[in-house]
Chains A and B, each alone.
Chain A
Amino acid sequence: MIKLESIYKNYNIGEHNESEVLKNISFLVKENDFTILRGPSGSGKSTILSIIGGLIKPTKGEVFVDGKSIAKLPDKFASLVRQEKIGFIFQKFNLIHELNTIDNITIPLLPGKLSRLEIEKRAEEILDDLSILNKKNVLVKKLSGGEQQRVAIARALINRPKIILADEPTANLDKKLSLSFIQIIKELKQKGITILLASHDPLFSELKCVDNFIDIQHGEIK
C-alpha cells in the first residue's frame, strides 16, 4: 500500500544552512497494516508523513501510495491523491476554530462532486460512531481536547480514505484519552484501513495489534 524507496530530503539546498533531514529511507506498509514510526521528536518522522501525504516533495527517491508514484506529481494531482486516499490526523488537530463541528469535518469534500446533503449524512454517521453527534453544531473552540481530537479523526475519515496518517496524535492528550484514541484506531484497523502512526509515546510499544515497528534515528532507519 505504501512503499518508500531510498528517500532523501534536505532543506534549503545549496545554502549555507543546508540540512539533511532524511537519508535513504525505504520501507513498505502492506494493506491494512498498523505500523508505528518510533523515534525521538525531530528525527524526521513528520517529514516522512508529509512526503507520503504529498505535502512536500522528496529531494531524491520514489514514493508509491496505493501503487501510484506521487513523488513527481504536480501539486494539483498530489492534492487529489491526498483527497481521495489519505486521511491526515495532526498533532495540534489543526481545526478551524470559528467553524462548527460539521463544517470542519465536511471541508475535505467541498471541492468534490458530492452534494452537501450526502456529505452531511456521511459526516453524521462518522460523528455517531465517534459518539460526538450531539456536538454537531458546536463551535470547535468550545469543545474539550478529547472532543477536538475526535473531530480531527472524523475529518480524516470523511473521504473514506484507504490510508490514515497520524502525526503524534496523542502528544497533548492525557492517558485516558490516549487509550480511547487507541480503541478508535483498533476499530479502524478492523474496517480494513491501513494506518501509519508516528509517535514517541511509549504507550504504543506494548500494543499487541501493531503489525510492524519502524525506528527512526536522526533521519535514518535503525
Chain B
Amino acid sequence: MNFKLVDFTLKSLKRNMTKKLSVIFIFTVLVFLLVSVFSISSSIKKELLISVDSLPELIVQKMSGGRQTLIPVERAFEIASIPGVNNAYDRVWGYYFFENVNVNFTILGLDFDLETYKKKYDNIIEMNSDIIDTSNTPFMIAGKGVVEIFNSYYNPNYFDFIKGNGKRMRTNIAGSFSDESALETNDVILMPIQNVRELFDIEEHLATDIVVRVPNPEEIDVVKQKIQFMYPDCRLVSRQDIEASYQNVFDYKSGLFLSLLIAAFVAFFILIYDKTSGLSLEDKREIGILKAVGWQVENILQIKFIEGAIISLFSFSFGTGLALFYVYTLQAPLLRNLFTGASYLKPEFDLLPIVDLQVLSLIFILTVPIYIMATIIPSWRAAIIDADEVMH
C-alpha cells in the first residue's frame, strides 16, 4: 500500500472536491434509501418473530367450501387424547365492525377465573377490579386503541355492543392492555366466553377454532398428520408455517422493492459512469504531466482505484449512519407509513432498534461493486491518455 499515492489521491480529491461531491451525494442518497427501508422491514420482522414462539403450536379450523366455519367443540377432546398433545381447547373469537369509525375490533373469549389471570398477566393488563366484582353485567379488557375510540365516541367506562338480534349488550370496560404491547393488542377486546357466544350467538357446542399445545417440537408434524387424518375437512396452521410465512412476506416485499430499484441501480451506474468519465481539460493535462514525469499506467489506475475506494467507503458509511439515525432515533417519520399501512387506530409503536449486520453487508455488496464497476472503464480511459498530446 503506497501511502504516498494515497496522500496524492487525497490531495487531488480535495482539489476537485466540487465535482466529487455530486458523486458522493448520489451514492449516499442511494445507500440511505436502501438501509432505511431494509432496517424498517427487519425491525418489523423482528417484532413479529419475537412473539411467534408464544403462538400456539397448532390451530385447527373447520373449512367448508374454502371458508372457515364453526368447529364442534367435542373435536377438542378427541384431539386432546392424541399422544404428544398436552392440551387442546376451543376458542371463541371474531370481529366486531364499528361503523362510526369503520374499524374492526377483534373480540376474544376467555374463561376469566380471575385469579389465574390476575397474577399471570397483571403487568400487561391494568385492571380496575372493583367494577368486575360488583356487577355481573358483561365486562371487557380492551386494547389502547379501542379504549381511545370509546372515550371519544361513546363513553369512557362502558360500551353497548349490538347483538345479532338488534338488542344492546352493555359491557363495562374493566381494564386495558399496557402501552408496550400496543402493536399486538391495539384492537383486541377480551371478554368472558359466554358473553362472546351471546354477542355472536354461537351455540354452546360450536367454537371458532381449536388451539392445540404440543410441547415437543418434533411431535408437531406427527400430530398434525394425525389430526389431518382424523378430520379431513380441517385446515391445520402450525407455528412453523406462520414463521416461514413471516420470513416469506418480508423477503417478498424487500425483494419486490429491490427489483423495482434495479432501474435506480442502472441509473446510478450510468450517472457514476458519466460523472467519472467527464474529464476536464485540466484533469487530462494533470494525468499527462504525471505520465510525462515517469508514472506508469498502473500507478494512475492505482490512484483512481484508491479514490474510488475512499469515496465508496465514505459514502456507504455516511449513508448508513444517517439512515440508522433516521430510522431508529427519529422513528422513520415518512418512510414508516409505507410499511404500516392505513390504520385508523394508529398504534403508536417504536421500531425495535435491531441493526442486522447481514442487511448491511447485503447492501454493501450491492452498492460498492456497482460503483467500482462503473468507474473501471472511465479510470482506464483516463490512465491511457497519451502524455505527448497533452503536453503541447
In the complex, identify which listed stretch (A104-112, A129-137, A142-150, A194-202) lies at the interface while the others stay far away: A104-112
Given contacts A94-B285, A99-B11, contact A159 B386 (CB under 8 A): no
Q: How far is the CA of A212 from the CA of B286 in the complex (A)?
A: 34
B392 touches A46 (CB 8 A): yes
B294 touches A76 (CB 8 A): no
B15: chain A residues within 8 A (beta carbon): 98-99
A110 touches B5 (CB 8 A): yes
Q: How far is the CA of A205 from the CA of B288 in the complex (A)?
A: 32
Q: How far is the CA of A94 from the CA of B198 in the complex (A)?
A: 95
Answer whether residue A155 sits at the interface, using C-beta atoms and an 8 A cutoff. Answer: yes
A111 touches B293 (CB 8 A): no
Determine which residue in B288, B291, B295, B296 has the highest number of CB atoms from chain A within 10 A of its CB, and name it: B296
Question: Which residues of A (56-102) have their CB < 8 Å from a CB of B?
Answer: 56, 75-76, 79-80, 82-84, 86, 88, 90, 94-96, 98-99
Partner of B296, one of A50, A55, A111, A155: A111
B388 touches A55 (CB 8 A): yes
Q: How far is the CA of A109 from the CA of B296 in the complex (A)?
A: 12
Q: How far is the CA of A90 from the CA of B293 in the complex (A)?
A: 11
Q: How far is the CA of A46 from the CA of B388 in the complex (A)?
A: 10
The tally of residues in A whose CB lies under 8 Å from a CB in B reads 29
A56 touches B299 (CB 8 A): no
Answer whether residue B377 sits at the interface, using C-beta atoms and an 8 A cutoff. Answer: no
Quick one: closest B residue to A91, CB to CB? B392
Q: How far is the CA of A82 from the CA of B386 in the complex (A)?
A: 15
B388 touches A79 (CB 8 A): no
Answer whether residue A103 sits at the interface, using C-beta atoms and an 8 A cutoff. Answer: yes
Determine which residue in A50, A94, A103 has the highest number of CB atoms from chain B within 10 A of its CB, and name it: A94
Tally of A-B residue pairs with Cβ under 8 A? 75
Partner of A76, one of B292, B297, B386, B388: B297
Q: How far is the CA of A94 from the CA of B290 in the complex (A)?
A: 10
Quick one: closest B residue to A95, CB to CB? B289
Q: How far is the CB of B20 from chain A (nearest CB, A)?
A: 14
Answer whether residue B8 sits at the interface, using C-beta atoms and an 8 A cutoff. Answer: yes
Q: How far is the CA of A94 from the CA of B284 in the complex (A)?
A: 12
0/1 string, B4-16, CB within 8 A of A gives 1: 1101100100010
Q: How far is the CA of A159 from the CA of B391 in the complex (A)?
A: 20
Q: How far is the CA of A159 from the CA of B336 in the complex (A)?
A: 61
B11 touches A103 (CB 8 A): yes
Given contacts A103-B11, A111-B5, contact A79 B291 (CB under 8 A): yes
Partner of A94, one of B4, B7, B289, B296: B289
0/1 string, B294-337, CB within 8 A of A gives 1: 11111100000000000000000000000000000000000000
B294 touches A56 (CB 8 A): no
Quick one: closest B residue to A111, CB to CB? B299
A108 touches B293 (CB 8 A): yes
Given contacts A50-B388, A94-B285, A110-B5, contact A79 B11 (CB under 8 A): no
Question: Which residues of A (145-170) have their CB < 8 Å from a CB of B?
Answer: 155, 159
Q: How far is the CB of A102 from chain B (nearest CB, A)?
A: 12
Q: How far is the CA of A84 from the CA of B293 in the complex (A)?
A: 10
Quick one: closest B residue to A156, CB to CB? B293
Q: How far is the CB of B307 from chain A (nearest CB, A)?
A: 15
B294 touches A82 (CB 8 A): yes
B165: chain A residues within 8 A (beta carbon): none
Determine which residue in B7, B289, B295 has the highest number of CB atoms from chain A within 10 A of its CB, and name it: B289
Answer whether residue B2 sits at the interface, using C-beta atoms and an 8 A cutoff. Answer: yes
A116: chain B residues within 8 A (beta carbon): 3-4, 7
Quick one: closest B residue to A155, CB to CB? B293
B387: chain A residues within 8 A (beta carbon): 55
Q: How far is the CB of A168 from chain B (nearest CB, A)?
A: 10
B299 touches A94 (CB 8 A): no
B289: chain A residues within 8 A (beta carbon): 94-96, 107
A110 touches B292 (CB 8 A): no
Quick one: closest B residue to A75, CB to CB? B297
Q: How far is the CA of A55 from the CA of B292 in the complex (A)?
A: 7
Q: How far is the CA of A155 from the CA of B290 in the complex (A)?
A: 12
Given contacts A94-B289, A111-B2, contact A56 B295 (CB under 8 A): no
Question: Chain B interface (Cβ within 8 Å of chain A)?
Answer: 2-5, 7-8, 11, 15, 285-286, 288-299, 386-388, 391-392
Q: List 19 A-B contacts (CB under 8 A).
A: A55-B386, A76-B296, A79-B295, A79-B297, A80-B294, A82-B294, A94-B288, A94-B292, A95-B289, A98-B15, A103-B11, A107-B8, A107-B290, A107-B293, A107-B295, A110-B295, A110-B299, A111-B296, A159-B294
Beyond the given pairs A55-B391, A94-B288, 14 more chain A to chain B contacts, judged by CB atoms under 8 angstroms and listed by A's residue number, are A56-B386, A79-B291, A79-B295, A82-B292, A83-B294, A96-B289, A98-B15, A103-B11, A107-B289, A107-B293, A108-B293, A110-B5, A110-B8, A155-B293
